[in-house]
Amino acid sequence: MLRGPRPPAVLVLLAALLAPVPASATTPAADPIRLSVDATGAPGRLLHVKLDLPARPGPLTLVYPKWIPGNHMASGPIGDLTGLHLSANGRPVEWERDAVDPFAFHCRVPTGAGRLEVEFDRLQSASGHLASGRSLTSRLAVLDWNELLLYPAGRPAEGIVFAARLRLPAGWSYGTALATARVDGDTIEFAPVPLTTLVDSPVQAGLYRRRIELGPAAGPPVAVDIACDDATGLLAPPELVAQWKQLVAEATALFGATHYRRYEFLLSLSDDLDHFGLEHHESSDDRADARALADDERRAADAGLLPHEYVHSWNGTYRRPAGMVRPDYQEPQRTELLWVYEGLTEYLGWLLTARSGLATPEWQRQELAGEAAWLDRTPGRTWRPLKDTAIATPILFGGPTSWTSRRRGADYYEEGVLIWLEADVLIRQRSGGRRSLDDFCRAFLGGRSGPPAVVPYTSEDVVKALDLVAPYDWRGFFDTRLSSTAPHAPLGGIVAGGWRLAWSDTASAYERAAARASGDRTDLRLSLGFALDGEGVITDVVPGSAAGDAGLAPGMKPIAVDGRRFSVERLRDELRAGKNGADPLELLAEDGEFVRAFRLDWHGGELHPVLVRDPARPDLLTQILEPRTPRIAPEPAAE
Ligand SMILES: [Zn+2]
């Protein structure tokens, strides 16, 4: 591994002053909570849990983890906990749910009892979001321990030790960052760990799995554990494996230190799983569809998944906003700094995707163009500043998906890319090219290598660390962008980076792949002003657009365009034919039990965003995406 340029002395000092607190004690308590999870029912979408807790006679409150790290909301799937039974000394113990908090259960441990036994089932619903989403298929499972336990209320999670045991369906294997103590047939005993480590260490299990070591030559080992519904989906092309190795090299060059003993990408591929990524200190839960490795277009559409989650090992788990460091999983998290936690991660994931070769710079520019164009035109930004999208995350995640253009979504991800790109460009300009955001990352997120630790920060810490890299009014820079209700997005980084936003009649390869990956959605919000889901139902209508003025609304379903049966292809044909014409486009749409006619006064054809080079300015954008480490060649023999 080739390490990047040495940071200035002040940054080394700053890094040394950040005294990390251990994320987990390694000494097990003498009498841990014994947790047994029977996952043999996973193919039947049901997991059975047994807990054996040391307890003293008297009142006891047990809680189910509520605020799940990385979910940024109270997403613990309490509605899927069923069949709860408590007992002591072989006799049932009554329980009662708290009248206000549905995640808490009260009971009284009987006189003479030294232990309490708890049993329940964790069901998987057919549909849900994040923690309540689909994690079990007939051939693989992603197990999150927080969904499979109760713990005593009022005690710091770091001080509660669990000894976990897991029984898998016959023939299944597993991958996890947890250390295994013993394997007996299909049953695994894990080494006792604090609750925080357990919740931070999901297990991937399945019938078809494969492990690929990524090195690196120096530093803790990194591997990809692939699970799929069939053996065919496990085949990773040699060039992809080389790009994953490059990702490890580029990330460690960027941050200059690691905060894991080993790192596992738990890559689970199935059309029956919900698709997302979830970060942890020493692993990530990365989910994509069954053909994600085999199909070139799908692979390109998912290229940013692993880089984003990997960056979280530094930004989000090691360095974490102070308001998101909580003693247990019941206390609410403060999410206002997600523009750093997620926004900076999205930016770094975007550039590492290019630096590692997982996507070309052209592909990354197409992605940036699409995000910038939408953010620049979304009307929701005129009432809701960016910082409110972060504060309101607990209601935005998993909330309604219609009317996005009026609501705004969790824009601190995509707009975070624009803002951190602008910061990167500013540092490069103000330092005459000697410094970049890489220097900030090394100082603020890198620190000293070691096992998992949590170092909290405030927005003041972010501003101070940036000021050490390049003196500037960073407080004013962020405040302006976070509080703005101006109609347009902060595109300064793109412009000063040597590019500008322009329009094309045809969709880019990125746009086509992204539409396919999102279930064949059709997004015409930048032209006609509406979007359709894969079933052809309107999901969003932009206020002030031709569709908005005509009275279309989410939930309606177009059935005819200009007097002919509706199809997306026909709509696009009519859009092209009507460009610069005078006649409105006529749409017939189902509106519940009614059919209504709408006239859309739009004559601009299709609009697809592109970035074009501005030769008057240096091309900083391309410099930012350039690799910093020697290219790693694919090894066909290793496949
Ligand atoms: Zn993230």
Asked if residue 277 has pLDDT above 90, the reply is yes
CA of residue 129 to ligand 1 center, whole Å: 15
Residue in 267, 202, 66, 43 with CA at minimum distance from that of residue 136: 43
> In the numeric block, which tokens belong to residue 601?
């006064």
Tens of pLDDT along 36-81?
999 999 999 999 999 999 999 999 999 999 999 999 999 999 999 9
Residue in 201, 44, 52, 67 with CA at minimum distance from that of residue 123: 44
Per-residue pLDDT, 10:
33
Under a CB-based contact definition with an 8 Å cutoff, are residues 560 and 567 in contact?
no
> In the numeric block, which tokens belong to residue 34?
């014994």
Per-residue pLDDT, 449:
97
Give the residues across from 473 on adjacent strands: none
Q: What is the DSSP letter of 397?
A: T
Lowest mean pLDDT among 138-152, 289-303, 588-602: 289-303
> In the numeric block, which tokens belong to residue 249?
């090299």
CA of residue 464 to ligand 1 center, whole Å: 24
Per-residue pLDDT, 571:
96
Asked if residue 22 has pLDDT above 70, the reply is no
- CA 407 from centre of chain: 21
CA of residue 252 to ligand 1 center, whole Å: 18
Per-residue pLDDT, 4:
32
CA of residue 162 to ligand 1 center, whole Å: 27
Strands, DSSP E only, in 302-427? Answer: 319-321
Question: How would you classify residue 558: left for phi > 0, otherwise alpha for psi between -120 and 50, otherwise beta?
Answer: beta
Give the span between the Cα atoms of 413 and 418, in whole angstroms. 9
CA of residue 277 to ligand 1 center, whole Å: 7
CA of residue 279 to ligand 1 center, whole Å: 7
Q: What is the number of alpha carbons within 13 Å of residue 561 lying toward its C-beta?
A: 18
Mean pLDDT on 432-451 = 97
Lowest mean pLDDT among 303-307, 395-399, 429-433, 598-602: 395-399
CA of residue 17 to ligand 1 center, whole Å: 27
CA of residue 305 to ligand 1 center, whole Å: 9
State the alpha helices, DSSP H only, in 392-455.
393-396, 404-407, 414-430, 437-441
SS3 track for 232-263: HHHCCCHHHHHHHHHHHHHHHHHHCCCCCCCE
Q: Which of helix, strand or coil describes residue 286?
A: strand
Helix or strand run (H / E) with residue 576 = helix 568-577
Give the span between the Cα atoms of 216 and 226, in whole angstroms. 19
Per-residue pLDDT, 29:
54
CA of residue 246 to ligand 1 center, whole Å: 20
Tens of pLDDT along 220-252?
999 999 999 999 999 999 999 999 999 999 999
Under a CB-based contact definition with an 8 Å cutoff, are residues 45 and 222 in contact?
no
Give the span between the Cα atoms of 29 and 27, in whole angstroms. 6
Residue in 523, 366, 360, 490 with CA at minimum distance from that of residue 420: 490
CA of residue 344 to ligand 1 center, whole Å: 9
Token pair 């990352």 is found at 441
What's the one-letter identity of residue 325? V
The rounded mean pLDDT for the chain is 93
CA of residue 360 to ligand 1 center, whole Å: 22
CA of residue 610 to ligand 1 center, whole Å: 25
Give the residues across from 95 on adjacent strands: 107
pTM attached to this predicted model:
0.94
Q: Largest Cα–Cα distance of the chain, in whole Å?
A: 87
CA of residue 393 to ligand 1 center, whole Å: 13
Q: What is the number of alpha carbons within 13 Å of residue 447 lying toward its C-beta?
A: 23
CA of residue 200 to ligand 1 center, whole Å: 15
SS3 track for 494-547: HHHCCEEEEEECCCCHHHHHHHHHCCCCEEECCCCCEEECCCCCEEEECCCCHH
CA of residue 18 to ligand 1 center, whole Å: 23
CA of residue 278 to ligand 1 center, whole Å: 7
CA of residue 466 to ligand 1 center, whole Å: 22
Per-residue pLDDT, 639:
44
- Phi and psi at 417, nearest 5°, equal -60, -45
Residue in 71, 621, 631, 627 with CA at minimum distance from that of residue 367: 621
Give the span between the Cα atoms of 466 and 419, in whole angstroms. 14
Higher pLDDT: 52 or 25? It is 52
Under a CB-based contact definition with an 8 Å cutoff, are residues 24 and 194 in contact?
yes
CA of residue 147 to ligand 1 center, whole Å: 20
CA of residue 56 to ligand 1 center, whole Å: 41
CA of residue 127 to ligand 1 center, whole Å: 22
